[in-house]
Every structure is written in structure tokens, then in C-alpha cells.
Structure 1
């Protein structure tokens, strides 16, 4: 993983998160990485679920390598020095805790140090496997990168948790636009204490309120909302109605938050998934089926998204109609 100091390398950093555990987030991170690598892309998988790092098990790698915990404990000079190859050509891995489980206790400056160094890693795609839930350690790794992915399953609680995650990510992102103890932060806190759902307001209402104080500040928040374009993947689906939950989540986000949500993929439940996890081998290496094809479809959609650009809200669901879906599982 050597870099020419005179060459500027543009990579895509994609954080992958979930509102709750058990939805297949780490499984998807690994298999998306494998699929992208087999499409000719150089990929680095980064285990940022610090305190619960397990991405190595999905890759069949022993948890004996120095990782981000080593870096945070100042036993390594850079993240790049900790990147290791995997058994898949063009696919690399940056371990998480390694020998330092205390890495779960992260200070803000430590998170910022990691975030600033990630763009210097040499790869086409850098996939960040984050923990589940909405604590600040997770949100702070998700919000700097507008095209993150939220993984959920077709269950009411999981869908609601996915929505709550996106709402929390936006709230923290807007909050962090302004300095500590500022009037704007007080206004933002008051806004989020009110119920958005069913109120007829969205975060663009907040942008308008901030504009009353300062037009540039309102414009900055509006720009953030327009460039925040996460994707959702519905995992472990079993029916047409399960697939439509992704559309419902997008409608809710558009109505209550004012953001567009890219429906990246609907993935069916397959019995071979649990066997691949137990066998510590990425599913896509041993299977050529509907799930593998759907994962490739997700990767094709990721390629079409232009990073760091303002994308207008969808008025229809035309991208939902183009999803690679082969019908209910038998």
C-alpha cells in the first residue's frame, strides 16, 4: 500500500451503520467490499465498531493484528501502516480494537484524528463498519461523509430505529455547524425538543429560522441538508411488502426531515448466509445467486452517485422500480 507523495488520490469513504444490532451490517460491509474488489476496485474495509470489533471473523482473519486501537494508544504512526491484505485480490483490511479494547473510550480529538487521516488511505472505496445505535462515537464517524449507508431489516422496530438514526445524525451534524455556547446551538436544541412527525415542519424550517439570525448560517444548514444523501439497504427480506418498507422509510424522511434517501437495494434472506458467517468466508466468494446479484446491483448504484454534490429530492420512486429484485424467497 505505497503512495506516491506527488499524486493526489481521490477515494470514496462510505460509512455503514444501523439503528439496531442484528440486521447484517458487518455481513454487508464485507460482501460489498468483496463485490467491489471483484469489479476491479481497490477497497479497504475499516472496522470502526470499536469495543465490539468483529469484522475480521467475516474475513477469516485472526484477531491478532495491530489495529485502530494500537493507533489510538500511540503505538502506530499512521492508519496506513496498519492496513493488511485479505485473501481477496484488491481487498484490504484495517482492524479495529486489536489488542486494545479500551479504544471504545474515544475522545473527540481522537475521532477527528482518524477522520482526517482516512482520506489519505489509497483505495477507490473505503468502507467503514460502524457500531449499531446512535451514540456520538458512531454518529461522528457517519456525518462527515454525505453518502453513508443505513442497513435495516423489514421489521417495524428496525425501520423506526433506522429513521431515528438518520434524524440523530442530522441533528448532530447541524448542531456541529456552530460554535459551543452559541445562540444557534440553543435554537437548534429547542427545535429538536419539539416533535417533527406530523407537525408539517422539517429541518428546512430550522434553516429558515437560522436565516432570521444570519442568512449565511441558514444557507449553510440548507446546503448541508441538500448534500446529505444517505442510502438505505433492506436486508433479509422475504416478500414484496418487505421491499416496500424501503419506500416508506424514504417517504417519512422526505416529509419529516426534508432529505432525500437513496434506496440502494433490497436483499432477500438466504439460508446460506448463516453458514458463510459460521465458516468465516465471505458469502459472495462461494455463491452466485439472487443475493450476490443484488449486492452487485448495490455496488453499481454506488458507482453512479457523485460524491460531495447537491442532489435534488426525488419526487417519485423511479429508482425503486429499477431495483434488482427477483421475487419472494421460496
Structure 2
């Protein structure tokens, strides 16, 4: 058993299937207002400017706003049309943006239940997202620590968590990490008994040491099926999140990211890398109100420079597929 545990806790590069040509980026974090759309839209613009073929999926199913962040009016066709069967294919709702090489899948706008599609609809949506041809697919995920948010987050090859330096945001981020690990493992185990082990292990745990619980879960599974236990351990080994701190005001906020990564690496059984900060900048909400992407209006600002630094860091830390598709600016 010790071998499994040691294997699962080291952290490592994500194995991306050769069948999947695109690089999928997911942006999550749990709490609303953490800056997912801000980061996703501006990084997408940077990639598109570098000549990459990028599609941004507005997965904030209950409150879509990526089109606004890109300076667009709400498109006539959106994800709602796909979810409600008014269009035959997801590609029918992909629209151009004001930026060359960047297209948008606008979020749902009119279905009350769009924020909670049933399992069959969600499976259809995920399968179609995987098959859409492009070089980079950005998944801008809505708030929440539920399994649905975790499912979309786990689709990413590059999984980026955003937090703000607030106690509630940090607490929600830890819950989101636990939910993502829980969901990842539930998608692997194939027996109700093993799912019960997981539910018991993740239930009512507060901020406790998750590694001890994972060890207990693995030991129970291994007694029944060592192959499934090995799959669970391998999945933990391959989980690798990236962390960005938004609205950082001072040195304390800048240290928050490395501190959280240290805690996750030590107590959560997965690997997390610190990718940088977005400084607090009063011009950010100003650009949103003007329906102008931040990089367009304030492209020479310190904050804009941080977007480029974050992108470089994410690509440096990225899986091999992303590294083979890096920006020209990565070596600059």
C-alpha cells in the first residue's frame, strides 16, 4: 500500500491523449468574482494575437458575460440554443469576436435550468466540446463547488484556479479543490462500494488533512481490487492545478499564492503550481463597464504585463501538448 500512496502524492505531468489535438484550458475556483472571465478572456486575446486558433467557451451557465468582457453585444444564438435543441450542433452557435483567430461560444441566456443541465445534456455538451477543431479551447467555468463545476474544470489539460485574497475566497477554493479530487476519483471507480468509500472519506472533513483520508480510501479499495486502487493512485499523481491570485494589493497578497500551493502539495495529495498574480487595478471594472477588454484599453499597463507573465508561466508549467504549441513570446 505504501507504494501506491507514495506514487499518488508526488504530482506529475498530465498525460494528454494523442487523439486530442487541441489544448484545453479550464478556469475555475469556486467563488463568484474571482476573476475567471477576466483572466480567460485576456489570455485568449494574447494567444489569438500570436496567431493561435482559439475558442472561448462561456461556461458560466447561469450568468454568461464573456461576450461583454470581449466588447460584444449578446449574440443572437447562444449555448441555450444547443442545450434546448434549437440548433443541431454546437458549432452552429460559435461566433466570431472582434479579435482575429478568437471565436466565442456564448453562454446560455434564456433557460432557467441552463445552469443545471441534466446528465445526458452535459455529456453531449462535453463530447462536442472535445471534438470542436481548434488549437486552444478555453473553458470559462461558472462559480460553485459542486460536481458540475468540477466536471468542466477537470476537462482542462491546463487547469487554472483563481482566488482573491479574501478569507471566504480562500475557503471556497479549498472546497473546490476537494470537490474536484472527489469528482475525479468518482469518475474512475466502477462499483457502488468504492463510491461509498469516497463519499465517506470526503464527507464532513472541514479543513483536515486529505492525504490521510485518501490513504484510508486507497487501502479499502485495494483490499477488493488492486487494479482500481492503482488507477485511483495514478489519477491523484496526475492531478496538477495552477493557481493565480487576483486583486493582489500588497506583499501579503503576493505571498498568498505560494502559501496555498504549499498547503495543497503537503496536505491534499495532488500537485499545485503558483502561476502569478493580477494586481488590484481600479481600471479593471472600468473596462468592463465600457465593454472593452482590458488589454485593448490598457495594453501598456503593469496589469497587462502580468497577463503576459501569467501566460508564459502557465505554458512553462503546462503539459507536453501545450509546450509543443507555445507562443512565440515564450522565449522573449
For Structure 1 versus Structure 2, the TM-score category normalised by the shorter chain is 0.7 to 0.9
Query: 2:319 matched to which residue of 1?
Result: 307
**309, 317, 331: which is aligned to 1:297?**
309
> 2-side partners of 1:80 and 1:308: how far apart?
27
Query: CA RMSD for the aligned pairs?
Result: 2.1
**86, 89, 98: which is aligned to 1:78?**
89
Alignment of 1:86-125 (within 5 A): 86-125=97-136
TM-score computed with the length of structure 2 as normaliser: 0.84
Question: Alpha carbons of 1:273 and 1:200: their partners in 2 closer, same or farther (altered >3 Å)?
Answer: closer
Q: Would you tell me which structure has more helix in proportion to its own residues?
A: 2
Kept in 1, the 8 Å contact 2:147–2:180? The answer is no
Secondary structure, counterpart of 2:278 in structure 1 = strand
> 2-side partners of 1:202 and 1:190: how far apart?
9
**240, 245, 251: which is aligned to 2:256?**
245
Alignment of 1:31-42 (within 5 A): 31-42=42-53
Question: Alpha carbons of 1:35 and 1:146: their partners in 2 closer, same or farther (altered >3 Å)?
Answer: closer
> 2-side partners of 1:9 and 1:190: how far apart?
35
Aligned length: 301
> 1-side partners of 2:319 and 2:271: how far apart?
14
Once the two structures are superposed, what CA deviation does each residue of 1:95-142 show, in whole Å capped at 9, x if it has no partner? 111444442231111111111111222222111111111123212211
Kept in 1, the 8 Å contact 2:44–2:54? The answer is yes
1:274 correspondence with 2:285: yes
> 2-side partners of 1:94 and 1:132: how far apart?
18
Alignment of 1:181-192 (within 5 A): 182-192=192-202
TM-score computed with the length of structure 1 as normaliser: 0.85
Structure 1 stretches of 4+ moved >3 Å = 98-102, 305-309
Which stretches in structure 1 are left out of the alignment for 5+ residues? 1-7, 310-330
> 2-side partners of 1:256 and 1:177: how far apart?
22
Kept in 1, the 8 Å contact 2:189–2:232? The answer is no
> 1-side partners of 2:116 and 2:202: how far apart?
27
Question: Alpha carbons of 1:133 and 1:263: their partners in 2 closer, same or farther (altered >3 Å)?
Answer: same
